[in-house]
A = this chain, B = another copy of it.
Amino acid sequence: MEKKEISQAVITRLPRYYRYLGELLENSIERISSNELSKRMQVTASQIRQDLNNFGGFGQQGYGYNVKYLHTEIGKILGLDDKHNLIIIGAGNLGQALANYTSFERIGFVIKGLFDINPKLNGITVRGIPVKRMDEMQNFIKEHSIDMAILTIPKERAIEVATMLVDFGIKGIWNFAHTDLNVPDDVVVENVHLSESLMRLSYNLKQEENKNNVK
C-alpha cells in the first residue's frame, strides 16, 4: 500500500481529516458518515470517499466511519506513530514560539534543543529545552538521535546551514527561512514561506474588493 504514489493534494488534505477526527474523538463521537463529515469539513462527501479510498477505504456501507480507527489509521499513514527528535536552528521569537508548542510532541515530534549564533541566548532554556552554540550542533545531533531540523534563521544563512545539517545526517527540514533550500533528493523539505502566504491573502482580498467595486 505504501508504494503507491499519492498526490500531494491528497496529502495536503490528510492532516485536516486527522484534525477533524481528533476533534470528534475529543467530543466522544464514535462514528460518523461521510455526509456528516463532509458538512463539518466543507468538503464534498465524494471527495472524502475518494481521498480515503487511496488508502483502502476504511468506511462501511450504512455505518460510516469508525472515528477512532480512522484517526489512528490516518495517523499511521502520516507517520505520526514514528517518533522524531528535532532541533531548532534560530532561537529568536519564532524559534521560541515553535519550541513552546506542546502539540507537536503529541504527534511524535520532540524538540530536544535550540541553536543560535547569538551568545546572549546561549545557556537559556525554553520550556526546559536548552539553547546551544552552533558549534555544539554536530555532537548534539549524534547524541540525541536527531533526524529533523526546524530552520528559523534569516535567508542569508539558511542555505549554508541546511547544507551543514544534511552533512550531519538530518533527513527532514521544516524551513521557515524565506528562501528555497538546495538539498539532496533524499532529504525532505517542507517550506513555510510566510510572506507568500500573506501575498495570497493580499491577492484574495483585492479580488474581493474588486467584486464589491463592480456591484
Among the 9-residue stretches A76-84, A114-122, A160-168, the one with 4 or more Cβ atoms under 8 Å from chain B is A76-84
Choose the segment among A7-15, A59-67, A132-140 that binds chain B (4+ C-beta atoms closer than 8 Å): A7-15
Q: Assuming the A-B contacts A148-B205, A205-B79, are A199 and B96 also in contact, with contact meaning beta carbons closer than 8 angstroms in the complex? A: no
A interface secondary structure, majority = helix
> B2, A196: Cβ atoms under 8 Å?
no
Q: Does A53 have its Cβ within 8 Å of any Cβ on chain B?
A: no
How many residues does chain A have at the interface if contact means C-beta atoms less than 8 Å apart? 61
A110 within 8 A of B: no
CA–CA, A77 and B208, complex, Å: 13
The 8 Å CB contact of A77, one of B82, B107, B201, B203, is B203
Within 8 Å of chain B (Cβ to Cβ): is A108? yes
Q: How many copies does the complex hold?
A: 2
Is A103 among interface residues, defined by CB-CB distance under 8 A?
yes
Q: Is A36 an interface residue (CB 8 A)?
A: no
Residues of B within 8 A of A2 (CB): 206-207, 210
A-side residues, CB < 8 A to B, are 2-3, 11-12, 14-16, 18-19, 42, 77-80, 82, 84, 92-94, 96-98, 100-101, 103-104, 107-109, 147-148, 171-172, 174, 178, 180, 186, 188, 190, 192-212, 214
Q: Contacts A92-B97, A96-B97, A107-B195 given; 13 further ones with Cβ under 8 A?
A: A2-B207, A2-B210, A12-B196, A12-B200, A15-B193, A15-B200, A19-B195, A19-B196, A94-B97, A174-B197, A188-B204, A190-B198, A192-B192
